Structure 1
């Protein structure tokens, strides 16, 4: 199973189309997880054209998206429990806010966004993963998204591009 992980697309403000490396991965994915900040319903709908989409709302998503999407989700794929949250808020780091969003449940992986900074690290026995952004790298050298592959075991990796 190939799951494409993306967040912080901020379209059309930060880009007019999705980068080619992301489109290629979306085309042959089994599932898409978006960590929020699509910005508009049109962008949300564009992702759905690639296949099954599971998403949460982010802090810059318009009112329509915020009423459509939850702030937090938990899914299970092939025995892997995945928490999804945007990670925005006040105080603490984005990573700590993401971890605290799932204090009440047992998850294996937490996918979050907000900071646009690619991140992959275990904290309190849970893998925290931020795919970065495919359209707004800020001061980083590369744009990015993630790919989670689940078979007999699972692995998650960043895909970087200019």
Structure 2
């Protein structure tokens, strides 16, 4: 099962549209996971229409229209793994222990908010993945997103993709 992970798209504030390289991945993915901060409903509509399956949450920058359509936390069983998606996990220090306590039973937690790519595993807890942002790199050298494969209870081929600078 091919997965596409993104977060913090912030359209149209940070960019006018999602990058072409990212959009080219959408039809290749069995599931698209979006960890919030959409800002506009048009981006949600676009991904709902082009994705085979979308697992998504709202973020702190998402207003009432998005919050009415999306949960704060989403769960999905994908490729034999239990996934969670949330926007914010708090400060980097102590993140692994905090997420293991807050999300018991998860194998993978996808999150956003910081725009900083992250890939660690909490001792006795979930693998934590932040795909960064495809539209707002902030202090990072590149805008980013992730792909991965979930199969037979294993997550493999986790890859952080750098997008060309605009």
Q: Same fold (TM over 0.5)?
A: yes
Please give the secondary structure, in 2, of the residue aligned with 1:27.
helix
Please give the secondary structure, in 2, of the residue aligned with 1:49.
helix
Q: Does 1:93 align with 2:92?
A: yes
Question: 1:45 and 1:80, CA in 2 relative to 1: closer, same or farther beyond 3 A?
Answer: same
Could you tell me how far apart the structure 2 residues matched to 1:10 and 1:107 are? Answer: 27
Deviation larger for 146-155 or 70-79: 146-155
Task: Using structure 1 for the length normalisation, give the TM-score.
Answer: 0.89
Please give the secondary structure, in 1, of the residue aligned with 2:115.
coil
Written as runs of structure 1 = structure 2, the 5 A alignment for 1:1-162 is: 1-51=1-51, 52-87=53-88, 92-93=91-92, 96=95, 99-100=98-99, 103=102, 105-125=104-124, 126-152=126-152, 153-155=154-156, 156-162=158-164
Per-residue deviation, residues 83-106 of structure 1 (Å, max 9, x unmatched)? 1100166xx438729943862530
CA RMSD of aligned residues (A): 2.1
Please give the secondary structure, in 1, of the residue aligned with 2:82.
strand
Could you tell me how far apart the structure 2 residues matched to 1:117 and 1:77 are? Answer: 24
Question: 1:60 and 1:140, CA in 2 relative to 1: closer, same or farther beyond 3 A?
Answer: same
Question: 1:102 and 1:160, CA in 2 relative to 1: closer, same or farther beyond 3 A?
Answer: farther
Question: 1:110 and 1:104, CA in 2 relative to 1: closer, same or farther beyond 3 A?
Answer: closer
Task: Using structure 2 for the length normalisation, give the TM-score.
Answer: 0.87
Q: Does structure 2 retain, via aligned residues, the 8 Å contact 1:143–1:161? A: yes
Could you tell me how far apart the structure 2 residues matched to 1:33 and 1:98 are? Answer: 23
Q: Which stretches in structure 1 are left out of the alignment for 5+ residues?
A: none
Matched residue pairs, number?
A: 160
Could you tell me how far apart the structure 1 residues matched to 2:75 and 2:151 are? Answer: 20
